Amino acid sequence: MKRALQVLNELECGGVIERYAIGGAMGATFYVEPLLTFDLDVFVVFPQSAGNLLSLSPLYEALRARGYVEEGECVLVEDIPVQFLPVYNALLEEALREARETLYEEVPTRVVRAEHLLAICLQTGRDKDRERVRIFREQAELDMGYLAGVLQRHGLEGKWKQWTP
Amino acid sequence: MDTVNPEIARLFAAKEARRHKLAALPFPEKVRAVVCLQEMAAPVLRARGRKVRVWTLDERAA
């Protein structure tokens, strides 16, 4: 994990990606009890000069050059299956921009804020997202004022009310 | 209306307290716990035909 995060930092320093942050179940685990997952979900923003913003090809090529192979929808980075998810909407752009800086065993990294992870669950809307929202509400220290702003900006207040009667 | 047996209520409260305690662990410890969960779940998932990989953590032995 430590080495995989170092590789992500190297990709960012080298300009292959502009910015990254951990999301998904591992991002959630940062704030709540450990959740079972087999993938490390990483949201990425590409440099503007990359042309097609949603293309993962330059990233995959850079990883291949370092000897990391694709496995299904992931790339195996230092034995960790990493799923790279390009940001595709305003909520994810904001989540990346405002992600929390932290250290993992002295390695700097970034994790999407709990409020954004919760909003992403609301937007995605699967059964497992509903369960995750429940866990966030029960265990995470949420900034309710900040969350209200996120929900309002991204039109998720109705879904929030629907999911949290 | 049904009432919860006090002993059951105590067990539920203890479970909730444990979840909060786990939530408060440092991130690297939580990652190690996730790998333990992977080790427990992998045989079951593989028996169901799902291809899963348990992570190898260099830092796990630390």
Q: Which residue has the higher pLDDT, A81 or A47?
A: A81
At residue A49, the pLDDT reads: 57
Q: Domain range for residue A47? A: 2-163
- DSSP string across chain B: -----HHHHHHHHHHHHHHHHHHTS-HHHHHHHHHHHHHHHHHHHHHTT--------GGGG-
Selecting from A38, A76, A140 the residue whose C-beta is nearest the C-beta of B52 gives A38
A3, A22, A36: best to mutate for the B interface, most B CBs within 10 A: A36
Predicted structure pTM score: 0.91
At residue B62, the pLDDT reads: 46
Residue B1 lies in a domain: no
Number of domains in chain B: 1
- DSSP string across A72-140: TTEEEETTEEEEEEE--SHHHHHHHHTPEEEEETTEEEEE--HHHHHHHHHHH--HHHHHHHHHHHHHS
| Furthest CA-CA distance within chain B | 54
Which residues of chain B have a pLDDT value below 50?
Answer: 61-62
Q: What is the CATH number of the domain that holds A150?
A: 3.30.460
pLDDT at A112 over 90: yes
Contact A139 B23 (CB under 8 A): yes
Number of domains in chain A: 1
Please compute the mean of the pLDDT values over residues A81-87 and round it to a whole number. Answer: 95
Q: Domain range for residue B55? A: 6-61
Confidence band for A55, pLDDT divided at 50, 70 and 90: confident
Which residues of A fall within a CB distance of 8 Å from B57?
1-2
Instruction: List, for residues A7-34, the tens digit of each pLDDT value.
Output: 999 999 999 999 999 999 999 999 999 9
> How many CB pairs (< 8 A) connect A and B?
64
What is the value of ipTM here, to two decimals? 0.89
Does B37 contact A at CB distance below 8 Å?
Answer: yes
